[in-house]
Structure 1
């Protein structure tokens, strides 16, 4: 039961903070101050709300699956700390660049570099989950450096591309003028990286882990799992043509579809493990009394968070305008 809301927190965080990080990644390539200003100003009212889902997901993992939380935090300590450090850097950069004059460009670089570091750290965590975590007697039995792998790096590059694609879709939808033109151009490069890494990571995973290969290519499961990669490829092709299309929201929606296909593939590959490939979600779950208390809290907290974020997006729904003089809300 609690795997579903935990998965929801993960999905919403990656999609919401994904375009946020993607805008930061794209800002490193923005040619002029006017585009960078519009990109950052457009994120300023909502970026911190996006990270609410990261906090809620971590709290839910700790409360509902404490055994998994203890092992996974030990296994992924280095990338988790790197991610948190990067997210803090981004927040500091957003706050400081508005008051800086001589060092504004330096804070722009910090904002973009923090976005890149956060994406790479999350990729390392994803690669570590796919590779599996060493557990002995309910405790992490590996090294903190086990998470540093080629697969993790490939996942990090793929997330950078995917986040940049979401960021491009967001800017196409919410910006005007030269910022939107820049987003369309950057979106094509991001789509190429995303699609390439999606294919490479999927094939790598299937070739390295026979259990995952059997799950995907065994008969008859291949019949009902085949639509997932097919939909991802169709969405990628549609995204390519939509980036310069008339619809402003379609590139973002198609980017979301690509990510949802990736989530579906990850869920199929790792189900039903809370600690891949050692402990199931039932083995890692808290006692029934604790789960009932957590469920009651979710009923109260989840609608509040959804309402707060929906209101924030509605209040700041106007597009960012770029002019030669600067940013206009």
Structure 2
């Protein structure tokens, strides 16, 4: 910036004011600066400028899988909110790998940032490293919490799973729960919520289990395991399947098609299949998927709002409410 000041003939304090807020300098000065920027192709180093600020303008975000529609939607919503607030969002992906998650945390530890939104891998996470980051900056956990006390925003599985389980029981044969890999606490919570709902209704719960490995390729898991059960001696335990998430359901629908089983709620259909999440592509599945809808925009908004509140609170953030769970809504489509 010193070199640019000398070349443009504009004082460094004036340049600093401009880069912090272009409207804070006189129009004639602003025009002079913008002409010099174009002439000398100068751009301030975002990270260097950030180091000089008492309150950093960078928010970090770590997600397990950027190809997952849920997390890509979250990034989109939070990035839009950050832009409106004059903040820069730095997004890192762990790709479902604990070592890559640790590296992402170390990257954030090496930077001066205001706070972070993180969707941790859960049991596979290096908790001591996350605690080191928590000691430096405010963190809000999204979708998957670290424990019962850490700041967290997610879907209320104990409201959403009973909602769709009761619907399936009302409208046809009782559902069998098709599990998801135990990648985070949602897997166990959704299983438990289904179990408790079936017991409350006086019905026998049934499960289709999946391999214990932490596999984020949910469609592959649903497809492979559904084929295994369909082709087994006993076959499917029920003509209604409640899948732990929509991506599992997509794999199951593909497996049913592969074996000539018609999915839907019409009298000539062999299977009813429902999911959880309402991923953006779920409405375009064939048939469109019955599911419970998470509010993507609200999850992103509440996560960032909670983080900004904790950033503003400074030393007093330990007294703030820690965990927020949002209810889902039933979305009835042709699959069940």
Which category describes the TM-score, using the shorter chain as reference length? Answer: under 0.3
Q: Which has the larger radius of gyration?
A: 2
- Structure with higher RCO (Cα < 8 A, 6+ apart): 1
TM-score (norm 2): 0.24
Greater helix fraction, Structure 1 or Structure 2? 1
| Richer in strand (by share) | 2
